[in-house]
């Protein structure tokens, strides 16, 4: 049963909306798996996969532009005045993109 729960949580991470808050996912994983260390391992995998996807998409976007001016950055679903919280650490600095959120989460998990 434990392995099935872990697989279900990992798959949920991969299929969640692109702008889902990673801190909420981490807490959910820790509750469902029962081990904060395992939850962090799953978060690292999900973040690595999402970062690969992000870089592949930005590479494709750059190729498709081919000299055209780049469009304005997509607005994040996180409001600029709403504090972003990840495992108890609060920052008022808004994330302008999913890539920024992934970098922040990766830096936090590497501590």
Q: What single DSSP character describes residue 74? A: P
State how many domains the chain has.
1
Q: Which domain holds residue 8?
A: 2-109
Residue 98 confidence (pLDDT): 60
> Phi and psi (nearest 5°) for 89?
-105, 125
Residue 74 confidence (pLDDT): 38
How far apart, in whole angstroms, are the C-alpha atoms of residue 40 and residue 94? 23
The stretches in the chain having pLDDT less than 50 are 69-96
Residue 59 confidence (pLDDT): 72
Q: What is the pTM of this model?
A: 0.37
Pairing of β 84-86 and β 89-91: antiparallel
């Amino acid at each position: 049963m434990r392995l099935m729960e872990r697989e279900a949580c990992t798959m949920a991470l991969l299929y969640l909306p692109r702008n889902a808050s990673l801190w909420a996912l981490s807490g959910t994983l820790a509750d469902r798996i029962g081990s904060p260390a395992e939850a962090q391992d799953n978060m690292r995998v999900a973040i690595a996969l999402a970062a690969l996807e992000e870089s592949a998409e930005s590479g494709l976007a750059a190729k498709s532009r081919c000299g055209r001016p780049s469009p304005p950055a997509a607005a994040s679903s996180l409001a600029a005045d709403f504090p972003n919280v990840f495992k108890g650490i609060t920052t008022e600095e808004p994330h302008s993109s999913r890539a920024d959120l992934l970098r922040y989460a990766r830096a936090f998990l590497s501590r």
